[in-house]
Amino acid sequence: MKAVVQRVKQASVKIDNNLISEINKGIVVLIAFSDSDNIDTIKWFANKLINLRIFNDENNKLNKSVLDLNGDILIVSNFTIYGCARKGFRPSFIDSASPEIARKIYNEFIDYIKNNYNLKIYSGEFGAMMDISLINDGPVTLIIEK
């Protein structure tokens, strides 16, 4: 599993100009999956995202998590995060899971977070062409991989 995590003031997902999901203060998680991901990976990754201290405390230090703020989470599948462009100009996606496997893990990941954390969880639509808008807060952007 690999993700780009962005702290946001707000974000939204549209498909064919129709609003699918919208969040306020929280995090946007653009996430990709590999064939080796499993329930242990899902648990580790969920715990990391929920407790990642990327929000400012009263001393302007990154000491608060999305859980501390009761923030929103927008999770969007994005297989291109596993894109490798070391050679040539066309990225290779060999490390990314097949769509069938990735869809299963994506749904399990979202369900796990919804069932184990008391936060508002929103998502994009797996495999769809989406327009994602966001206001990055900071900017604060991290890459997390397991």
- Total-model pTM: 0.95
Positions marked catalytic: 80
Q: What is the domain extent for residue 117?
A: 2-145
User: Residue 105's domain is classified under what CATH number?
Assistant: 3.50.80.10
Task: Give the model's pLDDT for residue 93.
Answer: 94
Task: Give the model's pLDDT for residue 145.
Answer: 96
Q: Which of 121, 91, 123 is nearest to 13 (CA)?
A: 123
61 vs 44: CA distance, rounded Å: 24
pLDDT band at residue 78 using 50, 70 and 90 as cut-offs: very high
pLDDT band at residue 109 using 50, 70 and 90 as cut-offs: very high
Q: Which of 119, 21, 108 is nearest to 66 (CA)?
A: 119
Task: Give the model's pLDDT for residue 120.
Answer: 95
**Structure confidence by residue, pLDDT tens digits, 12-71:** 999 999 999 999 999 999 999 999 999 999 999 999 999 999 999 999 999 999 999 999
Per the structure, the count of domains in the chain is 1
